[in-house]
Amino acid sequence: MKKKYIYILAFLVIAFLAYNSVYFKKLSDVKKAQKESFDFKAYADSIYYKGILKSKKTIPLTSLIASVKKDQKEAFKSYGNRLGIGNSAYFMIKSTGKIIDIKDGIYTVADEKNGVVFIDTKYIFGNDLRDASGLVKLTDFKTNAQFNKVSESLNEIVRNEVIPKEIKTVKLGDSISFSGAVKLSKKQTLFTDLLIIPSQIKLQ
């Protein structure tokens, strides 16, 4: 009878130790941890410095406008990028001009060949740079949230690190060279008042 109690006690001790040495995580917690481990900052950094700044898709704004006027379909196919169906596409462009106004982070630039264009140096949001680059696909990520996180990280690099340094010495009346993303519509017949999300601004 005494042995019986010893066996029961031993069983309870083993069960207690086993219960406290093994635990399981929820699958949703594991997936969340894996998702959060992706370094969006490093990825966006690579997209910007190794992709956008060296992109062969960046076309002079003058050439893009001429190409669109000549053969819109071919121009959109060759230089534009869009994620789905629609009349609009994003393009990476570059040009030069003189700053004729600065207001709330918006630089009004008298482009040497294309009239007045606007460069937003303050409110750099949205997907313009990501989509114009053509370097990131929706299928590269499992969720739209992850895909949009790339835009957020890319915009942060340009808005907080790149542009502030580049415009620190730029002032009204200066001539600059610039590059960035611009959105064009197939219904567009005029190319005035273009708003450019910059990827780079250089004092000439």
The CATH number assigned to the domain holding 23 equals: 2.40.50.420
DSSP state string for 23-36: ----HHHHHHHHHH
Check: CB of residue 122 under 8 Å from CB of residue 106. Answer: yes
Please state the domain count of the chain. Answer: 1
Confidence of residue 23 (pLDDT cuts 50, 70, 90): very low
Cα–Cα distance for residue pair 112/175, rounded to 1 Å: 10
Q: Residue 53: what pLDDT?
A: 95
What digits encode the pLDDT tens for the residues 77-134? 999 998 777 889 999 999 999 999 999 999 999 998 899 999 999 999 999 999 999 9
- Beta strands (DSSP E) in 135-193 are 175-185
Mean pLDDT of 151-167: 97
* Domain extent at residue 180: 1-203
Cα–Cα distance for residue pair 159/111, rounded to 1 Å: 22
Determine which of 18-22, 50-54, 102-106, 112-116 has the lowest per-residue pLDDT on average: 18-22
CA distances from 84 to 81, 127, 131, 165 (A): 9, 13, 11, 35
Mean pLDDT of 142-151: 93
